[in-house]
Structures are given as structure tokens and as C-alpha cells.
Amino acid sequence: MTTTSAVESEFFTAGDPIADTRAPQGPIKDRWDTHRFEEELVNPANRRKRSVIIVGTGLAGGAAAATLGEAGYQVKNFCYQDSPRRAHSIAAQGGINAAKNYRNDGDSIHRLFYDTVKGGDYRARESNVYRLAQVSVEIIDQCVAQGVPFAREYGGLLDNRSFGGVQVSRTFYARGQTGQQLLLGAYQALERQVQAGTVQVYSRHEMLDLVLIEGRARGVIVRDMITGEIQTHMADAVVLGTGGYGNVFFLSTNAMGSNVTATWRAHRKGAYFGNPCYTQIHPTCIPVAGEHQSKLTLMSESLRNDGRIWVPKEPGDERPPQDIPEGERDYYLERQYPAFGNLVPRDVASRAAKYVCDEGRGVGPKVDGVSRGVYLDFSDAIARLGRKAVEAKYDNLFDMYEQITGEDPYVQPMRIYPAVHYTMGGLWVDYDLQSTIPGLFVIGEANFSDHGANRLGASALMQGLADGYFVLPPTLSAYLAGAPFEEADAEHPEARAAAAEVTERVQRLLSINGERTVDSFHRELGHIMWEYCGMERTAEGLTKAIGLIRALREEFWRNVKVTGTNEELNQTLEKAGRVADFLELGELMCIDALHREESCGGHFRAESQTDDGEALRDDENFAYVAAWEFTGNEGKPVLHKEALEYEYVEMKQRSYK
């Protein structure tokens, strides 16, 4: 096994510790209210003089733009999609968590806080998670007021269902399209501010760099994706709400355009990257069908409320599922984790599926000689509740599955297998959601702050809307209370230099004129990442992956072929820039995973597991946030550690048995 000192000497440099200097003290339940009271304010007349750039129009970015516009700030909101409504938040299916306790089943703010810290395997900050749980109850009221059509139970109250890693029902939902309905609510609020003149939306514009002036984030360089024009936009502060980086694996449930470029460009300018190796593998996705695929499809975790997961007891059993008797089926999650059953957290369910398939008990067509699938069976639910009741909950999900696979899940079980879905890592931020670059705030999945090493289901929508509607507005206002800053426009020397760098990079990509397509490099990178930095990781495999990625990156800049020109709609050019950043990110992810010689949540090191194959943490040596500093393509990244301390939750080995 590679030792920490050997990894450090070869791949990174140890830097000074980092601390969240904005984190409040005192009783945890009072920290957020006290912090808001102590923050400086900007009066309404002065807000009109302050400007903010927000990159991203999903639940975090769209909610932030609408809220700050409503407050009176001048906001520019950018997205690479043709409409803010096409942000990837729209793809979320299952629901949003909130500690309302409508079911009177023992839920509370403290229980949501505890479940989230435990679900993240004790690798998140207590103060941030408690604030998230507090704000959750306000999110539902906000969204209901906007007209979001949450499901309701027979008495007219909002309905709830369960998600993985909890034993209460706290997930609010709108059939299997919760993200879509929440995004439409945020979009309506955003468009209201567009009409009012406080927000300008720039669709089909991709951020390609960050502008720093006197060390502060003051603007962005964007490319008009229709004309190719490189534009400079300036403001008093910049907010990134650009989502996660799961597409570094090539195959994921993310939208094809989802990328890391905005956050990675900020990282290269000085924003530390927190816990990049913490990636989430979702257990309920449609299995890979072959090398022709470029996208995977999520099947909502909500399906695990009523669906039962099983495989044949004997390896190599290729009989149709309806021909396998009950006694010859292994409901392995119910057997291994009787307290939570099919609703164990995502990392636990995903590894369990991998293990049974590794044993030769997987189902479905073979890909590369192995069946990578398990059954998600609704026959019991249909018998117990009736088909109409199941249709009322899940019909759009069942229809989507049938259209993709040609199989009717009402008649035969779904086939599912884990796939990359979410990234808990992201740019490091303090309690105010400000990065290590003053004036650069990071919200939603783009930051690292709330989920530790594993996110619980239905918590992504909760965090995105919490950050956008309720957390960022007061903390960003406190920063803007220190304005006015130095006058700066697109002609400022730093802005001109940043624009010139972007132009040079675009021209360099176009001039290589090699022999390999951008997609071939992306697919190869994805294979490396999935094989060596996926569900199970080893020191040997990660070391090999770093070498492979470095060689692939060198070949990319020598042999990639980018067709067309800059002065047109050029999707190959767009992809090339994104893949170039993925190639740098992938190396850092592997270095982070290699240095963290423990297992926690979604980061599973084969060398660190219990006797029964569960993740084995090393709290003595690794109870910290890894915040990585960029030092140049030829320099080693610098590791800064933020110690994690727990006052209100006892750190112990997770158990869902």
C-alpha cells in the first residue's frame, strides 16, 4: 500500500491549514440567526448601485438571481443553454427534503441535521448542515407560494415519501418531476425580475474565465456560443451556480452539456477545490447497454419506496425473472440491512449491487462478458396497492423506462445498476459561501459545503434552493456593504489580459488539427476514471490512473481535431474546452482519492474496509476537508486541511443494519 508520505512527495505538497473564519460560535440552533443579525446590511437605495454576476440558471443560480433582483441589485445571469428552463436541475425526479414533520413520525430539524451528517459519513461541517436543515422548512413555504404543484394526501395537506438513509417521511414531491416543477417556480420568479429590469439573462453564453482585480472577483469572460464573440462582463461580485462535474466520467446521469469549466477556471485563478474525490454513484439507473452510449438515465430513488431489489441466488441464472421462484431470489438489501432495507443510502446500495454482479449474479444482457444489472421489482406493490395507485406515483418514470428499454415495468421488473450522478466535492467556501477568492461566491452543487462524503437522496434540491433563496442573499449583501470597490470595466488591464488568454486558448484548440475526435478523448478519460476512481479505488489503480491521464492530456493538446471556426455555432469547440478542463480535474480527483487512505461515503478504498465489506473511516488521520490549491500545470497541487470538529453529533461507524 502506498504511504501518505510517498504520495505527498510524488503528487502534491502540504500547505498551511485552512479555517472557516466566518463560522459562527454559540449554540448551533442560534448560529444562523445570530450570524444574519451581525452581518452588515445594504440599504435599498444603495442596492441599485451594486451589481452581481451569477453564472448558472438552475435552482441555485436562478433562485439567487431572482432573489437578488427582487432585493434591488443589478444582476446579470448567464447560462450556456438556450433557456434558463433547460438547466440540469430540471432533470431531478424524486423530491426535496424538509423537516416539516407533517407525518408526525418523529422528524425534526435536529433529525434532518443528524441524518445528513451521518449520511455524509461525518465529513461535513456541523454548522452548515444545521443551517440547511433549518432553512429547509422555509423552502417548502416559498415554493408553495410560487404555485409549485406538490403532491397532496387525501386531506389536502402536502404528501411526503421516504428516501434512502432515513427512517421518516420528509420528502416532498411532484410525481417524478420535482426538479422540473421547482425550476419552473424559480424561473417564474426570475422572469418577473427580468420584466422589472433588475435582471438581464444571457442565454447561450459560456463562462470561460474569471476576472480578478486587486485580488477580488470582479467579472467573467464569456463566449457567445452563436457568434463566437468573446465578451467581458464586470460587476461588484461573481456567483457560480454551475452544478457538478460528474461528466468527467463521460457516462453519467448529468446532461450532456454539464461541465466543470466555470469552477475549474476559478480554481486556476486561486479558488481552492474541496474534496474533489467525493463523487456519488446512484444505485438506480438504467444499465449501460454498450460502447455506443454517451448518456445514462436515472431512475428516481423514490422507486425504492415500493420497488424491491433482488438478484437470483445462484450465479449464472439466466431465466426470465417471472420464472424464478421466490425462494430462489436474494433480496440482498433487505437481507443485509434489515433496519433500512431497500432504503439504505446511495453509496451502500451501489456497492452492494456491484458486489452481487461481481459474484456473477447480475441480470440482463452481458456487456464485456458481464451482466451489470439487478432487478427493481414492483409486483408486490402492484398486488398490495393496485396498479392505479402505482401509476399515480410513478407513471412518468415507468413510461420513460419503457421507452428506453422496450420493457414494461408493470409486467416485469426494471433492471437497474449504479451510475455517476452527483459530486459532493466542489469549490471550497466558508460559512458565507465565499470562496478563497474575495467576491467569488459558490452555491449549490458547485460548492463542497453540505453533504460530506455522500449526499442523501432529495437533498440536492434542498441545498440548491437554500443557497439561492435564503443563504446567499444576506451573506452576499454583507460583502457588498464594503463597496464601492475600484472602478473597473472591460478595458481594465486585468480584464483585457483575461480576455486575451481566452482568445489564445480558443485559437490554440482550433489550430492543433490532429487526428482524434474530442469525444474519443472524453470517452477514454471516462473509462480511466470509472475503472480506477469509481465505486472502488486502490492505491495501485489510482497511481496508474494518474499516469494514464497525464499521458492522455499530453496527447490531447497534440492530437485533438477541432473542426470549424470560432465565429460560428461550434459544438466541437465547446466540448474541446470542457474536456481539456476535465483532463486536469480528473488528475486532481485521483490525487485526492490516493492521498485519502480511508473509506468514507462514496469514497471507497479497498484497503480500508470492515470485515463485512463496509466503508472503514480513519477519523484520527482524515477527519478534515481537503482543500486543494492550483499551482500551475507543471506544479504539484498544494493540500490545505480544514479540521472537522463535532459537538452535537457523535462520530461513529455508520450502520444501517
pLDDT in tens, 336-379: 999 999 999 999 999 999 999 999 999 999 988 899 999 999 99
- Where b means 16+ CB within 10 Å and e means fewer, 159-197 reads bbbbbbbbebbbbbbbbbbbbbbbbbbbbebbbebbeee
Name beta bridge partners: 370: 367
Distance CA 587, CA 40 (A): 40
What is the percent of the chain with per-residue pLDDT over 70, rounded to a whole number? 99
pLDDT in tens, 261-284: 999 999 999 999 999 999 999 999
- Give the structural domain span for 328: 282-421
Task: Provide the mean pLDDT of the chain.
Answer: 96
Domain for residue 248, yes or no?
no
**Position 577 in a domain:** no
Q: How far is CA 486 from the centre of its chain?
A: 34
| 328: three-class secondary structure by DSSP | helix
pLDDT tens digits along 584-626: 999 999 999 999 999 999 999 999 999 988 999 999 999 999 9
Which pLDDT band holds residue 291 (cuts at 50, 70, 90)? confident
* Whether 260 contacts 245, CB under 8 Å: yes
Active-site hit among 123, 346, 361, 537? 346
H/E run at residue 181: helix 178-196
Q: Give the separation between CA 21 and CA 436, rounded to whole angstroms.
A: 11
Q: Residue 540 class from Cβ within 10 Å (0-12 exposed, 13-18 middle, 19+ buried)?
A: middle
- Whether residue 540 is contained in a domain is answered as no
- Domain membership of residue 374 (yes or no) is yes
Q: What is the pLDDT of residue 290?
A: 82
- pLDDT, tens digit, 9 for 90 and up, residues 132-152: 999 999 999 999 999 999 999
Mean pLDDT of 323-337: 97
As a whole number of angstroms, the distance between CA 6 and CA 359 comes to 34
Helix/strand/coil (H/E/C) assignment for every residue in 415-435:
EEEEEEEEECCEECCCCCCEC
Residue 65 falls inside a structural domain: no
Calpha distance 221→230 (Å, rounded): 7
346 a catalytic residue:
yes
Of 219, 213, 227, 200, residue with least CA distance to 79: 200
Q: How confident is the model at residue 292 (pLDDT cuts 50, 70, 90)?
A: confident
pLDDT in tens, 241-261: 999 999 999 999 999 999 999
| pLDDT tens track for 4-45 | 777 877 999 999 999 999 999 999 999 999 999 999 999 999
Q: Cell numbers at residue 173, please?
A: 414531491
| Cβ neighbourhood burial of 552 (10 Å; 0-12, 13-18, 19+) | middle
Q: What is the spatial distance between Cα 543 and Cα 519, in angstroms, rounded to a whole number?
A: 24
Q: For the sheet containing 230-234, what is the strand order? A: 205-213, 216-224, 230-234
Q: What is the pLDDT of residues 173-205, one digit of tens each?
A: 998 899 999 999 999 999 999 999 999 999 999
Mean pLDDT of 499-525: 98
**261: in domain:** no
Terminus-to-terminus CA distance in the chain, angstroms? Answer: 30
Domain containing residue 293: CATH number? 3.90.700.10
| pLDDT, average across residues 430-445 | 98
Q: How far, in Å, CA of 56 to CA of 446, rounded?
A: 10
| Total domains present in the chain | 1
pLDDT over 90 (residue 383): yes
Which pLDDT does position 2 carry in this prediction?
A: 54
DSSP string, 97-143: E----TT-SS--HHHHHHHHHHHTTS-S-HHHHHHHHHHHHHHHHHH
- Give the contacts of 39 (CB within 8 A, at least 6 positions apart): 474, 475, 477, 478, 481
Q: Is 634 helix (H, G, I), strand (E, B) or coil?
A: coil
Query: What string of H, E and C letters represents the secondary structure of 14-52?
Result: ECCCCCCCCCCCCCHHHHHHHHHHHCCCCCHHHHCCCEE
- 325 found inside a domain: yes
Q: CA 412 to CA 93: how far, in whole Å? A: 22
Residues 440 and 217 sit within 8 Å (Cβ to Cβ): yes
Checking DSSP bridges between strand 329-330 and strand 366-367, what pairing results, if any?
unpaired
Alpha-helical (H) ranges within 515-570 are 518-533, 539-559
Are 109 and 231 spatial neighbours (Cβ–Cβ below 8 Å)? no
Residues whose CB falls within 8 Å of the CB of residue 232, separated by 6 or more in sequence, listed in order: 211, 219, 220, 221, 490, 495, 496, 498, 499
Q: Residue 336 domain-assigned?
A: yes
Say what the pTM is: 0.97
Q: Residue 655: its pLDDT value, please?
A: 87
User: Kind of pairing, strands 440-442 and 237-240?
Assistant: parallel
% pLDDT > 90, the chain: 94
